[in-house]
Amino acid sequence: MSRASNGVRGVKYLYNANGKRTAVLIDLERNAALWEDLFDVALARSRADEPTASWATVRRRLERTGRLAPTRQPAR
């Protein structure tokens, strides 16, 4: 069963036999930005336990592989 009583146009919840929400249908033509936001959050959460690196480490790696121009040190 689906209902659109959530107040957001183009978004419908699917309910199981007990009336509990189990899924959501999103009209992607109407709510593309909403889907992108939801996807970004889901992707970030899925990567939450991955190791992190400082910007300095990432920058050095990118410079070493030629994917980023070396930064210039400020003149003293």
Per-residue pLDDT of the chain (76 residues; tens, 9 = 90+): 555 556 788 999 999 999 999 999 999 999 999 999 999 999 999 999 999 999 999 999 999 999 999 888 777 7
pTM to 2 decimals? 0.54
Are the beta carbons of 34 and 18 closer than 8 angstroms? no
β-bridge partners, 2: 14
